[in-house]
Amino acid sequence: ARHLQVFILGSAVVGIAGAMLTTLDGQFTPTSYQPLRFTFLIWVMVIIGGSGNNLGAVLGGFVIWFFWIEAEPVGLWLIELITSGMAQNSPLRAHLLDSAAYMRLLTMGLLLLLVLRFAPRGLIPEVKR
C-alpha cells in the first residue's frame, strides 16, 4: 500500500513538472525535449550530492547549478586567453570561440568523474544506522 502511495505522489509531481515545462516553453514537442538538460543533469546532481541523503541531493543540485551557470563565461574567458596570440581572422580561433558553450558539458563530465573517483558515495554519503 505504501508503494502505491509513493508511486501516485511521484506521478503527480511529474505531471505538474510537465505542465510547468509546457508553460515555460510554450509548447511540448519531441524536438523541444532536451535529455541533457532535463534528465542527465538531475542524475548528476543526485550522484554528486549523494543518493542516500536528501541534504546531499540538494547540495548536489546547488553545486551543479553553480557550475552550469559559471562554466560558459569562464570557458569563454579561458578560450579568449588561450587564443589571444592567434590572428583575429583565424578559423581555428573562430571555431574555439564558437565552442565555448560546450565548456558546460566538459565541466559536468569532469565534476562527475572527480566525484566518482574521490567520493564514490557522493559529497554527503548515506549515514549507516
**Per-domain residue ranges of the chain:** 1-33, 34-129
> What local confidence, expressed as pLDDT, does residue 114 receive?
94
How does pLDDT run across 8-46, given as a tens digit for each residue? 999 999 899 888 878 877 777 777 667 777 788 888 999
Q: Is the pLDDT of residue 126 over 90?
A: no
Site of grid cell 558539458: 105
Q: Is the pLDDT of residue 112 over 90?
A: yes
> What local confidence, expressed as pLDDT, does residue 24 receive?
79
> What local confidence, expressed as pLDDT, does residue 53 receive?
84
> What local confidence, expressed as pLDDT, does residue 111 receive?
93
The C-alpha cell at 32 is 523541444
Rounded CA separation 79/53 (Å): 37
The three-class DSSP label of residue 26 is coil
> What local confidence, expressed as pLDDT, does residue 115 receive?
93
pTM of the model: 0.69
**Among the listed residues 34, 11, 31, 32, the one whose alpha carbon sits nearest the alpha carbon of residue 23:** 32
Rounded CA separation 123/116 (Å): 10
Rounded CA separation 25/19 (Å): 10
Site of grid cell 565534476: 111
How does pLDDT run across 66-109, given as a tens digit for each residue? 998 998 889 889 988 988 888 989 999 889 888 888 888 889 99
> What local confidence, expressed as pLDDT, does residue 8 receive?
94
> What local confidence, expressed as pLDDT, does residue 116 receive?
93
* Confidence band of 58 (pLDDT split at 50, 70, 90): very high
> What local confidence, expressed as pLDDT, does residue 32 receive?
67
